[in-house]
């Protein structure tokens, strides 16, 4: 079977920070304001070994740890987080430097697709975010149980992130405001060739309430307030197709997260 090319949802920050173009984040969603529903979702800035900055999203899961995607943490030489709804300018408005981070040892730039192990954690000095409320991981096998339940296609998830609203169709951003957006997506599939028990596929179309795009990587997919997956990849450069998130409701993944936070 011919393998589909994957386009992971990351955005080069050195370019977008130089632009002043009004934009959105979670496509078809709305700004996370009045009131903020996801204050524990932050923007991550990563300086990579290639000398460029990149943007991802992540979720506070304890007083000093942020959960994100593996392709966000891998090859990083420095990482910062900012939990402001609109962190502009990023480094002058509350950014906090990480003390260390970890990428799942089985992550290999999607070479093991569909079970990519696209998960990472970013740690900060003890108690850095003690005044904030962390988000819990969903119970083990939450999505597995949903997959066998009646009415699965009506299952809704909540998403949040700092990604772009539109691209030029060639893998470059069109608009990016550096603002946290929120939305709602519908479960499409858990067991297709692109998922195979490792990923969850969600809607990405106007009128569905939200969609994932570049920069949303690592942000949460939430079910009943708990994280069931982290945003991972899309299949086209316009973010027009389905979104895919790596599941964190597996016991081995949760054990790895616990061991590295």
pLDDT tens for 219-246 read 999 999 999 999 988 776 666 667 889 9
Helix/strand/coil for 109: coil
* 8 A C-beta contact, residue 174 and residue 166: yes
Distance CA 80, CA 179 (A): 16
Helices (H) and strands (E) in the chain, counts: 4, 18
Greater model confidence, 116 or 174: 116
Greater model confidence, 228 or 173: 228
Q: Which residues, in sequence order, are CB contacts of 184 under 8 Å at separation 6+?
A: 29, 156, 157, 158, 159, 208, 209, 210
What value does the mean pLDDT of the chain take?
82
List helix spans (H) across the chain. 13-16, 70-73, 142-148, 251-259
- In this prediction the pTM is 0.87
Q: Closest Cα to residue 141, out of 21, 34, 253, 24?
A: 253
HSE-CB for 51 with a 13 A CA cutoff: 0
- Report how far Cα 175 is from the mean position of its chain's Cα atoms: 18
Name the range with the highest mean pLDDT among 19-28, 40-49, 151-160, 238-247. 40-49
* 8 A C-beta contact, residue 72 and residue 218: yes
Q: Which residues, in sequence order, are CB contacts of 18 under 8 Å at separation 6+?
A: none
Q: Write down the pLDDT at residue 193.
A: 87
Distance CA 15, CA 159 (A): 25
Q: Report the relative pairing of strands 156-161 and 220-223 from DSSP bridges.
A: antiparallel
Q: Write down the pLDDT at residue 175.
A: 53
Greater model confidence, 207 or 194: 194
Q: Does residue 251 carry a pLDDT above 80?
A: yes
CA distances from 248 to 83, 88, 229 (A): 22, 31, 5
Least confident of 12-26, 41-55, 151-165: 12-26
Least confident of 26-30, 60-64, 177-181: 26-30
Helix/strand/coil for 144: helix
């Amino acid at each position: 079977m011919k393998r589909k090319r994957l386009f992971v949802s990351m955005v080069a920050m050195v370019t977008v920070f130089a632009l002043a173009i009004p934009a959105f984040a979670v496509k078809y969603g709305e700004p996370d304001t009045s009131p903020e529903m996801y204050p524990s979702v932050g923007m991550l800035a990563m300086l990579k070994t290639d000398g460029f900055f990149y943007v991802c999203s992540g979720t506070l899961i304890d007083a000093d740890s942020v959960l994100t995607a593996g392709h966000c943490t891998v090859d990083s030489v420095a990482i910062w987080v900012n939990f402001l709804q609109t962190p502009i300018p990023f480094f002058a408005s509350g950014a906090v430097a990480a003390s260390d981070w970890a990428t799942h040892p089985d992550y290999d730039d999607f070479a093991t697709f569909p079970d990519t192990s696209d998960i990472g954690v970013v740690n900060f000095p003890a108690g850095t975010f003690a005044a904030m409320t962390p988000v819990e991981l969903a119970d083990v096998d939450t999505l597995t149980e949903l997959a066998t339940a009646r009415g699965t296609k009506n299952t809704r998830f909540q998403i949040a992130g700092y990604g772009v609203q539109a691209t030029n169709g060639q893998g470059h951003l069109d608009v990016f405001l550096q603002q946290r957006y929120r939305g709602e997506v519908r479960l499409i599939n858990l067991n297709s060739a692109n998922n195979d028990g490792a990923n969850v596929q969600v809607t990405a179309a106007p009128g569905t309430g939200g969609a994932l795009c570049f920069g949303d990587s690592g942000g949460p997919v939430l079910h009943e307030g708990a994280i069931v997956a982290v945003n991972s990849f899309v299949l086209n450069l316009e973010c027009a197709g389905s979104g895919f998130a790596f599941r964190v409701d597996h016991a081995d993944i949760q054990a790895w997260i616990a061991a590295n936070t």
